[in-house]
Amino acid sequence: ERFIENDYKYVDTSSRLKQMLKDIENQSEISVDSERHTYRSYKRYTCLLQISTRTTDYIVDPLPLKSELHALDNVFTNAKVVKILHDAAFDVEWLQNDFGLYVVNIFDTFQASRELNLSSLIF
Tell me: pLDDT of 42 over 70.
no
| Model pTM score | 0.86
Tell me: pLDDT of 119 over 80.
no
The angle at the Cα of 120, spanning 117 to 121, to the nearest 5 degrees, equals: 85
Give 52-100 pLDDT, tens digit per residue.
999 999 999 999 999 999 999 999 999 999 999 998 888 999 999 999 9
Per the structure, the complete domain to which residue 54 belongs is given by 9-116
Is residue 102 assigned to a domain?
Answer: yes
Instruction: Please report, for the domain that includes residue 85, its CATH number.
Output: 3.30.420.10
Is residue 2 assigned to a domain?
Answer: no
Is residue 74 assigned to a domain?
Answer: yes
Domain count, the chain: 1
Tell me: pLDDT of 123 over 60.
no
Q: How far is CA 16 from the centre of its chain?
A: 16
Which residues does 27 contact at the CB level (< 8 Å), separation at least 6? 53, 54, 81
pLDDT at residue number 6: 66
Is residue 122 assigned to a domain?
Answer: no
Is residue 81 assigned to a domain?
Answer: yes
Tell me: pLDDT of 120 over 70.
no
